[in-house]
Structure 1
Amino acid sequence: MGKDQGTKKEPDVSIDMKKIIQMPNLPKPLTTDEKKYLVAVERGDLPTVRRILQRAGKKKNFDVNCVDPLGRGSMSIAIDGENLEMLELLVIMGVKTKDSLLQAINVGFVEAVELLLEHEELVHKDGEPYSWEMVDVNTSVFTPDMTPLILAAHRNNYEILKILLDRGATLPMPHDVRCGCAECIKESDEDPLRFSASRINQYRALASPCLIALSSSDPILTAFELSWDLRNLAFSEQESKTEYMELRRQCQQLAVSLLDQTRSSHELAVILNHDPENPPYEDGEPMKLARLELAIAYKQKKFVAHPNIQQLLASIWYEGLPGFRRKSLLQKAIDLGTIVVLFPFYCMLYMIAPNTSTGKLMRKPFMKFLIHSSSYLFFLLLLILVSQRAEIHLEEILVASFGSDAQKLAFYEDQKNQRGNGPMILECFVGFYVLGFIWEETAEMWTEGIRKYLRNMWNFIEFMRNSLYIGVFVLRVVAYIQQRTQIAADPATACIPREEWDAFDPQLIAEGLFAAANVFSALKLVHMFSINPHLGPLQISLGRMVIDIVKFFLSTHWSCLLLHAV
């Protein structure tokens, strides 16, 4: 023959023996006796099963632990049929239980669980694995991390959970998602998917309503804390966000369901005022609503919006004004208008005689809100008057209407001196208000703590407002000293027009900061409008819209920088 047209290379079929995947041990074909045995178990034929097992014990002619093509052994078949007598016979005759306990828990067969637990306590030796831990991982229905308590919690079976907890079963807390211990690193390297699924299984068990009710002395607090942990996990592990958020909703629903069980205002008040660090709430004591504040901190919206809580809050809110909610719109407007107009009188009366009936009425939430709102609206009115230089315009009108020629001449000459002027009366009133705001924010920070203070985003706006006003005050002082020094050296500098001032003159910068501070002051109105049932939801929409605008601005700005760099 001629030369070969080419040499065909054989593929390299060498295999690294260390990387060979071991196939699971599939069930062996059943013999005739084994088939009769499993059929008798399924039919519940006790005498036949007893006779077969006795003969098998003597002759050893077949495996009593055999399984059918579906992987079901005799115990699994008895559990599926909920045949307790058959199961008891199989245990007595020495059939291996394997993961029968987990299967009994899975189907909710309480009597079988008790039987298998008693058997496990008799045969188990310290230091050795339990029967459900010795099953082949490749053929087992359950994952290796599954324990009786975890599975019972997944099924939310109250009876089985109580049986397990009474026997001392425990559920260890899962490690933190950022944990770097040797155990977590090892499990993550071996099988990341199984490691993540194991964490989800543990948290699914912890979120079981029955487990929380049986194991926690404060189920509502446990539901709050676990809900918060699940929220953080959802953002840390985006791949499992759906599962964690579903478990979070389950915890939130548990707190709401517990709140549904309240039958009176007293029970509701006891729950909402419960504080483990303080004595129990008693009737007649002022309500601190510690548990409600905790719900707000943990963002338990359904709990806070519960009708029972809203009814209690409404009764507290309108305390001291009986029948106000049932009045007509005109009567409400008259009452509110009277309080708004007379708010300086109420404030003075409270400072002078706080223990009078009117002074005590001032401590009620609704009255406090009206007085504070009226005071803040008056502050905004002062800002508008200061911005429009209302004092000068009013003085100009009075001089033009009632002043003599000499007074008119003096007024217009005085208006030419635009530098070196001190604060006006309205500006002094604004300064007193700002001092009150600073004192209020400092007291709140001292009372609640810096961490709780920073959780409220409105506090950042108020902090910026106060900081800007402080900057205005400092710059105005610097400008006054600087301008008076210049005027002392050259009196003509007092009449320099504003158009010719230096661009970075302290007074001009102070006026710019004052305008920015006024914007932050006006934003507080949005916070005050949140009490309205129509404007409150719009505030939430506004906040989300602002966040989206900021995200769009940052992404656009970052894209422009990248394009410019390219």
Structure 2
Amino acid sequence: MHRRHTTLREKGRRQAIRGPAYMFNERGTSLTTEEERFLDAAEYGNIPVVRKMLEECKTLNFNCVDYMGQNALQLAVANEHLEVTELLLKKKGLARVGDALLLAISKGYVRIVEAILAHPAFAGGLRLTLSPLEQELRDDDFYAYDEDGTRFSQDITPVILASHCQEYEIVHILLMKGARIERPHDYFCKCNECTEKQKRDSFSHSRSRMNAYKGLASAAYLSLSSEDPVLTALELSNELARLANIETEFKNDYRKLSMQCKDFVVGVLDLCRDTEEVEAILNGDVDQNPPSEHQRPCLSRVKLAIKYEVKKFVAHPNCQQQLLTIWYENLADLRQQSIGVKCLTVLGVTIGLPFLAIAYWIIPCSKLGQILRSPFMKFVAHAVSFTIFLGLLVLNASDRFEGVKNLPNETITDHPRQVFRVKTTQFSWTELLIMKWVLGMIWSECKEIWSDGPREYVMHLWNVLDFGMLSIFVASFTARFMAFLKASKAQLYIDLHVPNHDISNASLPADIAYFTYARNKWRPSDPQIISEGLYAIAVVLSFSRIAYILPANESFGPLQISLGRTVKDIFKFMVIFIMVFVAFMIGMFNLYSYYLGAKYNPAFTTVEESFKTLFWSIFGLSEVISVVLKYDHKFIENIGYVLYGVYNVTMVVVLLNMLIAMINSSYQEIEEDADVEWKFARAKLWLSYFDEGRTLPAPFNLVPSPKSFYYLALRTKTCLVHLCKAKSHRHDNELEMGMLNSRPKLDRYRAPSRIKEENTVKKPIKNPTRYQKIMKRLIKRYVLKAQVDRENDEVNEGELKEIKQDISSLRYELLEEKSQATGELADLIQQLSDKFGKNDKKQP
């Protein structure tokens, strides 16, 4: 009797709680007493009642739903009642199995997921590959939460949801069942499927793409679905970063997913325990084309990480240690030496560079040649060569006009019959050396374009700077040479046709006399003037090229990175700056263009003067008198004062301070992560010297070494072998066609694959490569670490709830056993009573 009252109280309390919730159902839920009892038993894990009602109640609708539209299976799964779920899954015609599976996945109930996947509905595996939307199109409520639709988004499949929740074990189970996440089509794809989805609901289409990418970028799916998780994560991070710039409405989401892929790669690298594993991560699967004994590692993954700017991966200690080992190849002792010893090494290379180059030409494969081919020595040699080149530029600037007065209205010659321009256009010995260096650098750039390809070459800004610098040098020297040719022709004419001893008193044709004039009479388009202007620009670019080697130093590297980021900010600022500057320049010109000669200075009277006045006004070098007129036109003057004042306030107070704030923000970003930024920039510099070739710097690379002839012979031999093989293959095809014609007619029409199978023996399954074994070990460690971290981070409320539900189920089982024991005891007492009653009747 007491148990009956307790049950009634619990039922009344639940009904009181559920009472107002009938608003969730428009048509209301009219449940029978039997169905209410069944749903209560499923929700609270009353296994005996559920089992008894499923076995005995023939009229029971086990798909009935409660006030929230949930059936018994959904309630049992939501409360993690495994036994109740297994009992319900045995019934045929059970509805909403898919929603129960998604619910179990979202809560991480692995055993319930396994039980649901054993249901006959998942036997073919088709249900795991179709999304709820695709199921709905088939008039199926398999994934429906209630009559209104699905619990989760309509494009969520079980494997996508498991990946979102980072459920490694569930993802593994689903992958073994054949489930996969289909990669979304390209954003600009115009196929019928994408076009139809975009027209039907563009927002749902974008959300479905986002959900798919969330699944693909999850560490659980990357770890368990890909044969090369590192490569997959790197490529996916780049794709997501590209989509962040395309789908700007989801920029933050895509960037977060891209960073998630990068963190996964860093996490796998962090679990390496020896050099073999680090090399496997950095080089990728090189078992197909193993490097030779003297060949350096390819570092394909590092190059890819640099290309995709995965900075934490490149700056990781494991990666940096391996790169440092390659950097000091054949110079292991120098790595541990002090800065003083390294500086002495650099000084020795500076002094003996010509002799080292000669030795490398003669014996490139000797011990000395191997040392010169080491990345560190290549860097030192190229840096020393470029320093000498800069020294030549400085030396040339100091003595290029030696013996020539710099006054623009004077001329000086070596003898009276010499044309002045012949003396000024001749190349000095420093300029000839500079030309040799420029030719050597051009040859080096050509080799780099040949090896990397034009597309990859222009992707690096330093290459673009080099190309521009060398192009300007070539243009400058070409213009100088053209001026020298014309001056030489004038000198030749004078030598042949002018008899005077002093040409200053001779009557010369205009085109010949021009080359005797002083600089102040030269035309603006004179080749020598153009040459000197281009040469000045090239010198500036040459000295700016020093910034390329600054990342090698820990002190100057972060400064160079900050400078590069500052240049980017300045280019962004220039857009607004130019817009404001042009607006005021045109406005002030229109205001004062009619007052040419009526002002105290020519400011704003022409477009050129307007540009000069406004530009130098930024630096405080323009005067207020620029807007004053000589006439009494106060209205124009007042407008000029206002515009000029607004311009100065806008440019100096607002925009320049905004630029300073932008630069400061960029510097703070670099400073906060200065170590990672510097190591990433240093790795980019190192990798440019890791590739084979380009050992000797300019201008020593202009002389071909015996090794170059040897490699040329090898390449020629390889080309001839390929040609011979191609010819032999063509001959074999002709013979095969002849044999085919001679075969019986029946054999002639048999499938080629069938014939090949009969003539060959099936190859055994290949063993996993060394790279695959290493990746398997690393992924195991990563998954175990992720599971341990998750167990440590999980809140204990879930565990307490699980224990509470288990106790509740156990309570119902104990009550059922007690009820059965009480019933059996009552039957036994009744039998004993009946038996003793019969004995009492017999005794009288």
Give yes or no for TM over 0.5.
yes
Task: Determine the structure 2 residue equivalent to 1:28.
Answer: 29
Q: Classify 1:84/1:319 alpha carbon distance in 2 versus 1 (closer, same or farther; 3 Å).
A: same
Out of 464, 471, 477, the position equivalent to 2:481 is 477
Q: Answer whether contact 2:25 2:67 (CA < 8 A) is retained.
A: no
Once residues 448 and 502 of structure 1 are traced to their aligned partners in structure 2, the CA distance between those partners, rounded to angstroms, is 44
Out of 48, 63, 66, the position equivalent to 1:68 is 66
Structure 1 residues 14-413: aligned runs within 5 Å? 28=29, 30-56=31-57, 58-60=58-60, 63-94=61-92, 95-96=94-95, 97-119=97-119, 120-121=121-122, 132-133=142-143, 138-275=148-285, 278-280=288-290, 285-389=295-399, 392=402
Q: Classify 1:285/1:156 alpha carbon distance in 2 versus 1 (closer, same or farther; 3 Å).
A: same
Query: Deviation at 1:358?
Result: 2.2
User: Is 2:458 the counterpart of 1:454?
Assistant: yes
Once residues 413 and 26 of structure 1 are traced to their aligned partners in structure 2, the CA distance between those partners, rounded to angstroms, is 116
Q: How many residues align?
A: 528
Q: Classify 1:315/1:338 alpha carbon distance in 2 versus 1 (closer, same or farther; 3 Å).
A: same
Q: Answer whether contact 2:69 2:146 (CA < 8 A) is retained.
A: no
Q: Answer whether contact 1:416 1:495 (CA < 8 A) is retained.
A: yes
Once residues 484 and 400 of structure 2 are traced to their aligned partners in structure 1, the CA distance between those partners, rounded to angstroms, is 21
Residue-by-residue CA offset, 1:396-427 (whole Å, 9 max, x unaligned): 9xxxxxxxxxxxx9869799934454211111
SS of aligned partner of 1:388: helix
Q: Answer whether contact 2:144 2:150 (CA < 8 A) is retained.
A: no
Residue-by-residue CA offset, 1:38-61 (whole Å, 9 max, x unaligned): 2211232222112333455x235x
Once residues 137 and 504 of structure 1 are traced to their aligned partners in structure 2, the CA distance between those partners, rounded to angstroms, is 83
The one-letter amino acid of 1:417's match is F
Task: Determine the structure 1 residue equivalent to 2:429.
Answer: 425
SS of aligned partner of 2:443: helix
User: Is 2:546 the counterpart of 1:525?
Assistant: yes
| Relative contact order higher in (CA < 8 Å, ≥ 6 apart) | 2
Q: Answer whether contact 1:87 1:112 (CA < 8 A) is retained.
A: yes
Residue-by-residue CA offset, 1:286-323 (whole Å, 9 max, x unaligned): 22222211221121111111101111111221233334
Q: Answer whether contact 2:305 2:314 (CA < 8 A) is retained.
A: yes
Identity of aligned residues (%): 36
Once residues 216 and 280 of structure 2 are traced to their aligned partners in structure 1, the CA distance between those partners, rounded to angstroms, is 26
Q: Answer whether contact 2:350 2:384 (CA < 8 A) is retained.
A: yes
Once residues 291 and 83 of structure 2 are traced to their aligned partners in structure 1, the CA distance between those partners, rounded to angstroms, is 53
Once residues 83 and 280 of structure 1 are traced to their aligned partners in structure 2, the CA distance between those partners, rounded to angstroms, is 55
Once residues 552 and 303 of structure 2 are traced to their aligned partners in structure 1, the CA distance between those partners, rounded to angstroms, is 17
SS of aligned partner of 2:280: helix
The one-letter amino acid of 1:233's match is L
User: Is 2:508 the counterpart of 1:505?
Assistant: no
Once residues 435 and 24 of structure 1 are traced to their aligned partners in structure 2, the CA distance between those partners, rounded to angstroms, is 84
Q: Answer whether contact 2:413 2:420 (CA < 8 A) is retained.
A: no
The one-letter amino acid of 1:146's match is I
Query: Deviation at 1:472?
Result: 1.3
Query: Deviation at 1:231?
Result: 0.2
* Alignment RMSD: 3.0
Once residues 27 and 110 of structure 1 are traced to their aligned partners in structure 2, the CA distance between those partners, rounded to angstroms, is 34
Out of 550, 554, 557, the position equivalent to 2:578 is 557
Residue-by-residue CA offset, 1:199-257 (whole Å, 9 max, x unaligned): 11000011122212222111111001000000011111111111111111110011111
Q: Which runs of 5+ in 2 are unaligned?
A: 1-23, 128-134, 406-411, 495-502, 505-512, 591-844
Query: Deviation at 1:461?
Result: 0.3
Once residues 487 and 143 of structure 2 are traced to their aligned partners in structure 1, the CA distance between those partners, rounded to angstroms, is 86
Once residues 390 and 345 of structure 1 are traced to their aligned partners in structure 2, the CA distance between those partners, rounded to angstroms, is 29
Q: Answer whether contact 1:102 1:148 (CA < 8 A) is retained.
A: yes
Residue-by-residue CA offset, 1:168-187 (whole Å, 9 max, x unaligned): 11221102112233332332
**TM-score of the aligned structures, taking structure 1 as reference length:** 0.86
Query: Deviation at 1:122?
Result: 5.0
SS of aligned partner of 1:143: coil
Once residues 349 and 203 of structure 1 are traced to their aligned partners in structure 2, the CA distance between those partners, rounded to angstroms, is 57
Once residues 551 and 520 of structure 2 are traced to their aligned partners in structure 1, the CA distance between those partners, rounded to angstroms, is 43
Query: Deviation at 1:459?
Result: 0.6
Q: Classify 1:562/1:191 alpha carbon distance in 2 versus 1 (closer, same or farther; 3 Å).
A: farther
Query: Deviation at 1:123?
Result: 9.2
Query: Deviation at 1:285?
Result: 4.2
Q: Classify 1:124/1:453 alpha carbon distance in 2 versus 1 (closer, same or farther; 3 Å).
A: closer
Q: Answer whether contact 2:234 2:262 (CA < 8 A) is retained.
A: yes
Task: Determine the structure 2 residue equivalent to 1:402.
Answer: none
Task: Determine the structure 2 residue equivalent to 1:16.
Answer: none
Once residues 153 and 332 of structure 1 are traced to their aligned partners in structure 2, the CA distance between those partners, rounded to angstroms, is 51
Q: Classify 1:122/1:392 alpha carbon distance in 2 versus 1 (closer, same or farther; 3 Å).
A: closer
Once residues 231 and 238 of structure 1 are traced to their aligned partners in structure 2, the CA distance between those partners, rounded to angstroms, is 11
Once residues 82 and 414 of structure 1 are traced to their aligned partners in structure 2, the CA distance between those partners, rounded to angstroms, is 109
Query: Deviation at 1:148?
Result: 0.9
Q: Classify 1:308/1:335 alpha carbon distance in 2 versus 1 (closer, same or farther; 3 Å).
A: same
Q: Classify 1:129/1:374 alpha carbon distance in 2 versus 1 (closer, same or farther; 3 Å).
A: farther
SS of aligned partner of 2:332: coil
Once residues 238 and 498 of structure 1 are traced to their aligned partners in structure 2, the CA distance between those partners, rounded to angstroms, is 58
Query: Deviation at 1:484?
Result: 2.2
Q: Classify 1:518/1:204 alpha carbon distance in 2 versus 1 (closer, same or farther; 3 Å).
A: same
Query: Deviation at 1:278?
Result: 4.6
Q: Classify 1:162/1:130 alpha carbon distance in 2 versus 1 (closer, same or farther; 3 Å).
A: farther
Q: Answer whether contact 2:70 2:145 (CA < 8 A) is retained.
A: no
Q: Which runs of 5+ in 1 are unaligned?
A: 1-22, 397-408
Query: Deviation at 1:518?
Result: 1.1
**TM-score of the aligned structures, taking structure 2 as reference length:** 0.58
Once residues 429 and 473 of structure 1 are traced to their aligned partners in structure 2, the CA distance between those partners, rounded to angstroms, is 12
Once residues 222 and 470 of structure 1 are traced to their aligned partners in structure 2, the CA distance between those partners, rounded to angstroms, is 45
Query: Deviation at 1:448?
Result: 1.0
User: Is 2:516 the counterpart of 1:515?
Assistant: no
Q: Classify 1:276/1:362 alpha carbon distance in 2 versus 1 (closer, same or farther; 3 Å).
A: closer
Query: Deviation at 1:283?
Result: 7.0
Residue-by-residue CA offset, 1:500-558 (whole Å, 9 max, x unaligned): 21111101101111111111111210001121122222222111111111122223223
SS of aligned partner of 1:465: helix
Query: Deviation at 1:387?
Result: 2.2
Once residues 448 and 467 of structure 1 are traced to their aligned partners in structure 2, the CA distance between those partners, rounded to angstroms, is 20
Task: Determine the structure 2 residue equivalent to 1:17.
Answer: none
Once residues 122 and 238 of structure 1 are traced to their aligned partners in structure 2, the CA distance between those partners, rounded to angstroms, is 42
Task: Determine the structure 1 residue equivalent to 2:792.
Answer: none
Residue-by-residue CA offset, 1:338-393 (whole Å, 9 max, x unaligned): 22232222222222332332222111111111111000000011111122225837
Task: Determine the structure 2 residue equivalent to 1:15.
Answer: none
Query: Deviation at 1:328?
Result: 3.5
Once residues 413 and 265 of structure 1 are traced to their aligned partners in structure 2, the CA distance between those partners, rounded to angstroms, is 76
Once residues 352 and 550 of structure 1 are traced to their aligned partners in structure 2, the CA distance between those partners, rounded to angstroms, is 49
Once residues 80 and 210 of structure 1 are traced to their aligned partners in structure 2, the CA distance between those partners, rounded to angstroms, is 23
Q: Answer whether contact 1:266 1:283 (CA < 8 A) is retained.
A: no
